[in-house]
Structure formats: structure tokens, C-alpha cells
Amino acid sequence: MANNSYLKLEQIGKSFSRGPATTEVLRDISMIINEGEYVSIIGHSGCGKSTLLNIIAGLTPVTTGGVILEEREVNSPGPERAVVFQNHSLLPWLTVYENVALAVNKVFAGKKSRAERHDWIEHNLQLVHMLHARDKRPAEISGGMKQRVGIARGLAMEPKILLLDEPFGALDALTRAHLQDSIMEIHMKLGNTMVMITHDVDEAIFLSDRVVMMTNGPAATIGEILDVKLQRPRRRLELVNNKAYTEARAAVLEFLYARHKAPTIAA
């Protein structure tokens, strides 16, 4: 039975201090994320999305409030929350297989046998269609392929929550679409909880159950949360003329470009 108050963000606030100066980046962020839900966070550059994701990951401490996962406060990194960073962060001297193995051996040492770990690594590479490149090093594969290995590494840790910080941001449109399709397929297959940051309105709606729209900083907070009422599996081409899709898209665009315009970039 899916847990309906799985991950709670409770009145999260974050300020950064440098000498006497303090900047309040996030203020009073509260929401509940259900188990198995796909939630996207969208907002203008610099509003504090990565800061929020890093707080959920336990990489950045909160100033006020907290993150509660299954009734327990989390304030340090843990294998149940894997992060896929925008720039894949693979180790260049290890092969594709070894990069995933590093994470798997860390999480499953003592829990899975050597043979089981091997099968598990290959299984996850297969999920992202990268098994054929298992012996290549990061420099020998494309950007999209590196990103897929990063996703396989995240999934292989069998995290309760996969945190994705603009995972497709650096990719061309076609590769991006392929990877979005694979992530949707994986999410449907595994039913894990996903929290993804993106700048892309279509990507957010295509993949998510809910889209969290953030206001501009300083002291950014949740402006609105949109329910995406589209059945799964979703097919990109069928959505073009889908009324629920176009309405959701208009609502997010209106929020970002009419009511909460990007702050003017100082010259």
C-alpha cells in the first residue's frame, strides 16, 4: 500500500551567511510527497531549486524546518536518497560498469553476494540501455550516454527516492526526449518516488504527477502546485492536442512568465 505522507518538507528555510551579510534563499517550504509520486520543481534560475534538492539529499543543512522521510528526520546523506546531478559526475578512470559497481558495492556490501551484485549492476545498465557499453570509459561515450549511466548508478542504489537535478539539461532535444521516455518507463516499472528539478515546462508536465512552481528569490517559496491529470503511460505525440495537457502547460507558463517573471538580470 503506497504511503501517502512519505516525504514531508516541513517549513524549510535556508539562509546563507557570508561575514555580516545573510541572504535568505528559501522560506517556509512545506509539502508532502507520496510514495511512488513523480514531482517536478520548476522555477527561474537562481530561485533555490538546487538548494532545496540538496537539502532533501542531506547535502545542505537547513536553517529552519526539516525533512521527514517515513516519520524520521533526515539531515545527512543516505543511500535511500540517490542524486543524479546535471553533470553526470562519473569517475573518468573507471569503466561504465565500474562506475555503477562502486555505488552498488558500497550500498550492498554484506547484503548481496558478489554474483548477485554483478547481476544487479548489469540489470541496471540494461534498464537504461547501456549494457553494450559496459567496458567503455566516460570519455569514450556521448553526453547522453554518460547521463544514462548516472541514472543507472542512482537506480542501482535502490533508493527510496531518486533526486534528479536537471538531469537532461545539457542534452540536445532528441536525446532528451529519449531519456525522458526511459525515465518514465523506469518509474512505471519500479514505482519509486522521484523528485526532479527542471527548467523545461513540457518536460515537467510530461513526466510528473505534480508540478511545484517556485516563486522568485530571495526568500523563494512554493507559489503553486499543479496536479497533472494525464493517464499513464503518456505518449508525447498524443499529448500535442490533449486538452488537459495544453491547459496544464498554459497554467505553468502563466505562472512563470506572467505572474512570476524572471528577475531582471543585472548588467
Ligand X SMILES: Nc1ncnc2c1ncn2[C@@H]1O[C@H](COP(=O)(O)OP(=O)(O)OP(=O)(O)O)[C@@H](O)[C@H]1O
Q: Where does this chain bind ligand X (CB under 6 A)?
A: 16, 25, 43, 45-51, 217
Residue 169 beta carbon to ligand X: minimum distance, rounded to whole angstroms: 8
Residue 99 touches Mg ion, criterion: CB under 5 A: no
- Of 96 and 204, nearer to Mg ion (C-beta) is 204
Q: How many residues bind Mg ion (CB under 5 A)?
A: 1
- Of 128 and 220, nearer to ligand X (C-beta) is 220
- 85-91, Cβ contacts within 8 angstroms, sequence gap of 24 or more: 85/150, 85/165, 86/165, 86/166, 86/167, 86/169, 86/170, 87/170, 88/138, 88/143, 88/146, 88/147, 88/149, 88/150, 89/150, 90/138, 90/146, 90/149, 90/150, 90/153, 91/138
- Range in contact with Mg ion (rule: CB under 5 A) among 28-36, 49-57, 120-128, 150-158: 49-57
Residue 150 beta carbon to Mg ion: minimum distance, rounded to whole angstroms: 16
Residue 105 beta carbon to ligand X: minimum distance, rounded to whole angstroms: 31
Residue 259 beta carbon to Mg ion: minimum distance, rounded to whole angstroms: 21
Residue 50 touches Mg ion, criterion: CB under 5 A: yes
- Of 43 and 159, nearer to Mg ion (C-beta) is 43
Sheet arrangement for strand 64-69: 21-33, 7-18, 64-69, 72-73
- Of 50 and 192, nearer to Mg ion (C-beta) is 50
- Of 77 and 233, nearer to Mg ion (C-beta) is 77
- Range in contact with Mg ion (rule: CB under 5 A) among 17-25, 34-42, 44-52, 111-119: 44-52
Nearest to 209 by CA among 189, 223, 191: 191
Sheet arrangement for strand 210-214: 81-84, 161-165, 193-198, 38-42, 210-214, 222-227
E-assigned strands of 160-209? 161-165, 193-198
Between CA 119 and CA 135 the distance in angstroms is 15
Residue 110 beta carbon to ligand X: minimum distance, rounded to whole angstroms: 35
- Residues at the interface with Mg ion (CB under 5 A): 50
